[in-house]
């Protein structure tokens, strides 16, 4: 299946869009009953690719119980969040993404043809298959997990995809694969979607780039935060071309913390987010954080927080 099949695949998924279950379900919300889309795909699907074509429509404000990544393939539309001043325009070539429980209402401009490619991912699949690869970006990591920890969220990410980026062709391949589904389509989609999400993370970092720290100690701390699951003092020494003893002394002198303490803080910060924000068992969280087994993780957590992971969660 090549690029020549893309136009037909887009049209096929446009027709299928109306066949998906877009029923509004009542859910208890912070302001009374709210509406929510439940997973519209099949029970055996973890990833769904949809193509929405509209010439002018206003949705009801709603939430989702899945992750969604919407790419404006053609045209433009507005998105309204619960915040009174949160009306933004998503133009062609831009990405708009939200987490489970985040709410919005799509409003397509009148008389304008708009095509949106959506990649929808079940929560459990996202947490297990994709989140570990995206956890190096602490800001994006919090974005993905914040709603599950806070019950409801109005957050979204929105930025323009650079023209030379590979996101668009990855989406086109996903569209073609999903339009002509086969028995192994879900397995084929996983690496495509992972590549797509890694590119999204890269673009998100560029779009939200802040001033790069100049001090060597700050750069090292940032490096540790980006590789907290595998980083070692020896690796840092090679990366920054300084002897490990110098790195260790520098960090202690300028931050007041040893390398091992900095690494522990980075891991424990993410541990709390994962424990409160995902259904992942402790064993999987321990591996994500770089611990060889859950016993080492339990020991580190108890020493850091003076209580077990379960007790920490139950405090809320």
Same domain, 230 and 85: no
Spatial contact of 75 and 135, defined as CB atoms under 8 Å apart: no
* Domain span including residue 81: 3-207
CA distances (Å), 139 to each of 66, 249, 262, 265, 290, in order? Answer: 20, 29, 18, 16, 19
Write the CB contacts of 199 (distance below 8 Å, at least 6 apart in sequence).
165, 166, 167, 170
Tens digits of pLDDT across the chain (316 residues): 455 799 999 999 999 998 999 998 887 655 656 788 999 999 999 999 999 987 666 778 888 889 999 999 999 988 887 654 578 889 999 999 988 877 888 887 666 789 999 999 999 999 988 988 887 777 777 778 765 444 444 468 888 887 667 899 999 999 999 999 999 999 999 999 999 999 888 888 777 776 666 799 999 998 898 888 889 999 999 999 999 999 999 999 999 999 999 999 999 988 988 888 788 899 999 998 999 999 999 999 999 999 999 888 887 6
Same domain, 30 and 154: yes
Overall pTM surpassing 0.95 (yes/no): no
Q: How far apart are CA 230 and CA 95, in angstroms?
A: 31
Residue 47's closest CA among 240, 178, 203, 200? 178
What's the CATH code of the domain at 78? 2.60.120.810
The domain total for the chain is 2
Token pair for 248: 């260790």
Q: How far apart are CA 6 and CA 10, in angstroms?
A: 6
Residue 151's closest CA among 67, 276, 237? 276
Query: Of 207, 230, 258, at which residue does a domain stop?
Result: 207
Same domain, 69 and 132: yes
Same domain, 173 and 280: no
Q: How far apart are CA 118 and CA 224, in angstroms?
A: 34
Helix or strand run (H / E) with residue 223: helix 216-226
| Rg (alpha carbons) of the chain, rounded to whole number | 22
Same domain, 196 and 136: yes
């Amino acid at each position: 299946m090549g690029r020549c099949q893309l136009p037909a695949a887009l049209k096929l998924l446009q027709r299928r869009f109306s066949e998906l279950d877009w029923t509004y379900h009542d859910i208890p919300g912070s302001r009374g009953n709210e509406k929510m889309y439940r997973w519209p795909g099949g029970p055996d699907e973890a990833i769904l690719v949809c193509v929405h074509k509209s010439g002018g429509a206003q949705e009801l404000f709603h939430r989702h119980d899945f992750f969604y990544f919407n790419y404006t393939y053609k045209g433009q539309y507005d998105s309204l969040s619960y915040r009174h001043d949160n009306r933004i325009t998503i133009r062609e070539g831009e990405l708009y993404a939200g987490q489970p429980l985040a709410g919005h209402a799509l409003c397509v401009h009148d008389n304008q043809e708009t095509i949106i490619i959506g990649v929808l991912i079940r929560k459990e699949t996202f947490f297990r298959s994709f989140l570990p690869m995206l956890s190096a970006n602490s800001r994006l990591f919090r974005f993905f997990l914040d709603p599950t920890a806070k019950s409801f969220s109005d957050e979204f990410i929105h930025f323009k995809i650079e023209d030379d980026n590979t996101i668009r062709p990855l989406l086109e391949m996903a569209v073609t694969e999903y339009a002509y589904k086969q028995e192994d389509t879900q397995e084929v989609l996983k690496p495509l979607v992972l590549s797509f999400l890694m590119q999204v993370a890269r673009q998100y970092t560029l779009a939200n780039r802040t001033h790069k720290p100049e001090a060597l100690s700050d750069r090292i701390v940032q490096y540790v935060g980006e590789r907290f699951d595998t980083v070692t003092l020896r690796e840092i020494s090679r990366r920054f071309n300084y002897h490990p003893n110098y790195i260790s002394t520098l960090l202690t002198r300028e931050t007041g913390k040893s390398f091992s303490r900095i690494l522990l803080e980075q891991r424990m910060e993410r541990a709390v987010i994962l424990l409160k924000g995902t259904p992942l068992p402790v064993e999987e969280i321990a591996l994500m954080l770089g611990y060889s087994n859950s016993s080492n993780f339990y020991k580190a957590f108890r020493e850091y927080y003076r209580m077990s992971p379960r007790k920490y969660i139950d405090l809320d």
